[in-house]
């Protein structure tokens, strides 16, 4: 992309990947300003951003990506040069319990953002997921040309958003890049996803619920490697292109759970096999050679090191996830910002 970047609108920046991405951008691009738009759903947590509270290059705005007026206002007042869309409902199990909000946020919300990107003529990076490809058999990997066969309401809503974003490129000439990454792990992940849930449960001596036979395979990538990929897609991605990110760490869930138990010096007796997830994808594996080649991107965090650092983070930041689990973190916004309004 040719336009120089000074200000980026990141959506969903109070969530897991968004928060880690905002930190990376502030660190790696010292002349950029970040506008962080997040609705603060159950998954958004301002406590994950406390260290950025007084950073003049970071401005947090509580709001919905589906609010066109607000998005237009933010783009024009801050002279936003690009949008990185991470805001989403992101948990497969929740999408099975209630699909409606997934369509509202992931599909309709993204479409509103795309309209505003089009109006302002700014680059749009849609952070999609490898789950758009559906499930793999025992061999092979997803490439950017694999068929899109999402299984869950979550992945179907992400597929819709991904394709609508690409349609804005073809139909309106909007500068759009799409990224599709595999399962992330790292600090500040909401303890409903596999790795943080298992760590938190083990630290509280609760059972570790493994779905079905535990032999489903995910291709794990450290969140910092994904964030570096999003930055590379923003700066080097070709308009209208899709880039897969993955780190070649394919492991069955049961292997991950056992590794976590070892790192926490707990026994396998905490494992509890529970009923499988409906429509459960069996295996994901990513071919990220296009991103390696065209974006000069490569994952940097070795899995064993990343996993052990992640366990340490949850051990050392027990207050963060205990407040998430008890719901107390939701008072933080009112306490911190109520007094300032
Ligand atoms: P997350 O659930 O931790 O965070 C999502 C954030 O979006 C939250 O802060 C939430 O408050 C915010 N949000 C939700 N609805 C909103 C709305 N209408 N307006 C503004 N903000 C809203 O999710 P995550 O794991 O950080 O995922 C971020 C993005 O990356 C998602 O788009 C997800 O589909 C994608 N992704 C995630 C993974 C993964 O492994 N976690 C892998 C590939 C892609
Ligand atoms: P999850 O973290 O929800 O990510 P996704 O479904 O988007 O890949 O789940 C990762 C894998 O772990 C998935 O195969 C489902 C499984 N899983 C369990 O076995 N038990 C659990 O309690 C959870 C949350 C997930």
| Minimum-distance ligand 1 atom for the alpha carbon of 85 | 32
User: What's the pLDDT score for residue 336?
Assistant: 65
Phi, psi of 178 (to 5 degrees): -115, 135
pLDDT at 335 over 80: no
Distance 15 CA to ligand 1 centre (A): 6
185-189, 310-314, 327-331: least confident range:
327-331
Burial (0-12, 13-18, 19+ Cβ within 10 Å), 248: middle
Residue 339: pLDDT band (50, 70, 90) is: low
| Minimum-distance ligand 1 atom for the alpha carbon of 193 | 41
User: What's the pLDDT score for residue 2?
Assistant: 62
β-partners of residue 33 are 7
Residue 331: pLDDT band (50, 70, 90) is: confident
Q: Ligand 1: residues whose CB is within 6 Å?
A: 11-12, 14-18, 37-41, 43-44, 64-66, 86-88, 90, 105, 109, 127, 129, 158, 181, 183-184, 190
User: Measuring from atom 4 of ligand 2, which residue has the nearest CA?
Assistant: 193
* CB-CB contact of 15 with 36 (8 Å): no
Average pLDDT along the chain: 96
pLDDT at 332 over 80: no
User: What's the pLDDT score for residue 214?
Assistant: 98
20 φ/ψ sector (left φ>0, alpha ψ -120 to 50, else beta): alpha
Q: Which ligand is nearest to the CA of 207?
A: 2
For residue range 95-108, list pLDDT tens digits in order: 999 999 999 999 99
Percentage of residues of the chain with pLDDT beyond 90: 94
Distance 10 CA to ligand 1 centre (A): 11
Q: Which ligand is nearest to the CA of 283?
A: 2
CA 261 – CA 64 distance, rounded (Å) = 38
DSSP string, 15-51: SHHHHHHHHHHHHH-TT-EEEEEE---TT--GGGGGG
User: Measuring from atom 21 of ligand 2, which residue has the nearest CA?
Assistant: 194
pLDDT at 341 over 60: no
DSSP string, 111-139: HHHHHHHHHHT-EEEEEEEGGGG----SS
pLDDT at 277 over 60: yes
Residue 273: pLDDT band (50, 70, 90) is: very high
User: Measuring from atom 12 of ligand 2, which residue has the nearest CA?
Assistant: 194
Residues in Cβ contact with 172 at an 8 Å cutoff, skipping those fewer than 6 apart: 118
Q: Which ligand is nearest to the CA of 187?
A: 1
Residue 337: pLDDT band (50, 70, 90) is: low
For residue range 198-249, list pLDDT tens digits in order: 999 999 999 999 999 999 999 999 999 999 999 999 999 999 999 999 999 9
CA 339 – CA 237 distance, rounded (Å) = 42
pLDDT at 128 over 80: yes
User: What's the pLDDT score for residue 17?
Assistant: 98
Residue 197: pLDDT band (50, 70, 90) is: very high
pTM of the predicted structure, to 2 decimals: 0.97
CA 210 – CA 90 distance, rounded (Å) = 19
User: What's the pLDDT score for residue 334?
Assistant: 77
Q: Compute the average pLDDT of residues 295-299.
A: 98
Instruction: Among 150, 195, 253, 283, say which to mutate for ligand 2: greatest number of ligand atoms within 8 Å of CB.
Output: 253
Domain architecture of the chain: domains with CATH: 7-186+220-248+282-301 (3.40.50.720)
Q: Where are the beta strands (DSSP E) in the chain?
A: 7-11, 33-38, 58-62, 82-85, 123-129, 176-181, 184-185, 208-211, 217-219, 221-222, 242-245, 250-252, 271-274
Q: Compute the average pLDDT of residues 154-178.
A: 98
Q: Ligand 2: residues whose CB is within 6 Å?
A: 92, 183, 193-194, 197, 209-211, 216, 218, 253, 277
User: What's the pLDDT score for residue 80?
Assistant: 98
| Minimum-distance ligand 1 atom for the alpha carbon of 89 | 14
User: What's the pLDDT score for residue 330?
Assistant: 81
For residue range 28-48, list pLDDT tens digits in order: 999 999 999 999 999 999 999
């Amino acid at each position: 992309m040719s336009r120089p970047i000074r200000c980026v609108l990141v959506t969903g920046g109070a969530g897991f990947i968004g928060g880690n991405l905002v930190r990376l951008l502030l660190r790696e691009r010292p002349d950029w300003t970040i506008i962080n738009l997040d609705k603060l759903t159950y998954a958004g947590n301002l406590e994950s951003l406390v260290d950025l509270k007084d950073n003049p290059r970071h401005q947090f705005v509580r709001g919905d990506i589906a609010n066109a007026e607000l998005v237009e206002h933010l783009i024009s007042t801050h002279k936003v040069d690009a949008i990185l869309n991470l805001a989403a409902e992101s948990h497969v199990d929740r999408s099975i319990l209630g699909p409606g909000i997934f369509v509202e946020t992931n599909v309709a919300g993204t479409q509103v953002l795309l309209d505003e990107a089009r109006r302002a003529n700014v680059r749009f990076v849609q952070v999609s997921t490898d789950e758009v490809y559906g499930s793999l058999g025992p061999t092979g990997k997803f490439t950017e040309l694999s068929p899109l066969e999402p299984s869950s309401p979550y992945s179907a809503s992400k597929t819709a958003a991904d394709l609508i974003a690409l349609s804005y490129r073809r139909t309106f000439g909007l500068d759009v890049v799409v990224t599709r990454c595999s399962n992330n792990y790292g600090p500040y992940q909401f303890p409903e996803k596999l790795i943080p849930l298992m760590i938190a449960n083990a630290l509280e001596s609760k059972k570790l619920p493994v779905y079905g036979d535990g032999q489903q395979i995910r291709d794990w990538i450290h969140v910092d490697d994904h964030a570096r990929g999003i930055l590379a897609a923003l700066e080097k991605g070709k308009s209208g292109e899709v880039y897969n990110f993955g780190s070649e760490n394919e492991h069955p869930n049961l292997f991950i759970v056992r590794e976590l138990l070892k790192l926490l010096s707990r026994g396998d007796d905490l494992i509890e096999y529970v009923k499988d997830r409906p429509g459960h994808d069996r295996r994901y594996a990513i071919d990220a050679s296009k991103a390696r080649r065209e974006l000069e991107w490569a994952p940097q965090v070795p899995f064993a090191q990343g996993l052990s650092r992640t366990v340490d983070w949850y051990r050392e930041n027990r207050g963060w996830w205990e407040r998430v689990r008890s719901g107390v973190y939701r008072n933080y916004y009112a306490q911190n910002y109520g007094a300032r309004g």
